[in-house]
Amino acid sequence: MATFIRPTTVTRVTSGFRTSSRPNHHGVDLAAPGRHEIFAVADGKVTRSYYSDSYGECIMIKHQIDGQTWESVYAHLRRGTRRVKVGDRVSQGQVLGIMGSTGRSTGQHLHFELHRGRWNVNKTNAVDPLDYIGENVLNRLFSQRHKSQGDQVRRFQNQLLAVGEKLPKYGADGIFGDETEGAVRSFQKRRNIQVDGIIGPETRRELQEARPNYRRMLRLKNPFMKGNDVKAIQRVVGTKDDSLYGPKTEQKLIKYQNQNHLLVDGIVGPQTWGHMF
């Protein structure tokens, strides 16, 4: 049996696979309010990334696992949050978009389908995803440290940089290698928590507490920002962390926004902040 990670950290199932009340529901619905990232359940190639009247903002990915073709479907994403296009290669755990309520949807949720074989309009290859997806996505992703890569890893690397840990050789490259593991261990030691080099629940909580304060930063306007929050941003974009938001920091930020397909405005707004931290 193939094992896939969960497509989101949300575990609440509001509608199951082909239930008696919904026999034509060929996937599962995972729902919760708030902002929830959607992850690729396995390595693969994007076959569709489009807007559908029924699926809304939708992504489909083809996977080859032990000679078997699979296709996963991620539907009703938040408008404007799709991060991949047709033909892109994606890694397990890579962020695809944000949970939303587009298309034929009555509330925010992820409609997730898994097909043993290619997706087709009659859904003849659909299987119950809950029979195949494994542990909590983040726990699985970071228990396999040296095989992990993608946007989620890059965000944690940015958080480590922001709180003063060093990644001098590779920076936030999206790959969880020896350098990143060393930075995690250093952070865990400083925060007096279990030192294991894994970004588990306790380490994630500590990173959330230690990261820069967006609400405080919002009270200042570029280019008048200053202080430790600006230093954190400077560490992420790779400029001198002098705590002053000047022209060099703005140039580096614009380059960062360009490289990561964000709104290029030289301002650390909600989208850029969310990608960084």
Domain assignment present for residue 167? The answer is yes
Co-location of 192 and 148 in the same domain: yes
Co-location of 31 and 94 in the same domain: yes
Tell me the residue range of the domain where 56 lies.
13-134
Of 117, 134, 151, the residue that ends a domain is 134
* Residues 225 and 241 sit within 8 Å (Cβ to Cβ): no
Q: What is the DSSP string of 54-91?
A: TTEEEEEEEEEETTEEEEEEEEEEPTT-----TT-EE-
What pairs with residue 39 in β-bridges?
95
φ, ψ (nearest 5 deg) of residue 135 = -70, 175
Co-location of 41 and 120 in the same domain: yes
* Residues 84 and 90 sit within 8 Å (Cβ to Cβ): yes
Co-location of 44 and 109 in the same domain: yes
* Residues 175 and 164 sit within 8 Å (Cβ to Cβ): no
Which residues lie closer than 8 Å to 188 by C-beta, 6 or more apart? 194, 195, 196, 197, 203, 206
CATH number of the domain encompassing residue 206: 1.10.101.10
Query: Each residue's pLDDT tens digit in the chain (277 positions)?
Result: 447 888 988 888 889 899 888 899 999 999 988 889 999 999 999 999 999 999 999 999 999 988 899 999 999 999 999 999 999 999 888 899 999 999 999 899 999 999 999 999 999 999 988 888 864 444 444 444 434 456 667 778 888 887 888 888 777 777 777 788 889 999 999 999 888 888 777 787 888 788 776 655 654 445 556 666 777 788 788 887 776 777 788 888 888 888 777 778 777 776 777 677 7
What pairs with residue 133 in β-bridges?
4
Rounded to whole angstroms, how far apart are CA atoms 58 and 48? 8
Rounded to whole angstroms, how far apart are CA atoms 25 and 46? 23
Residue located via tokens 């902002």: 35
- For the chain, what is the domain count? 3
Co-location of 206 and 235 in the same domain: no
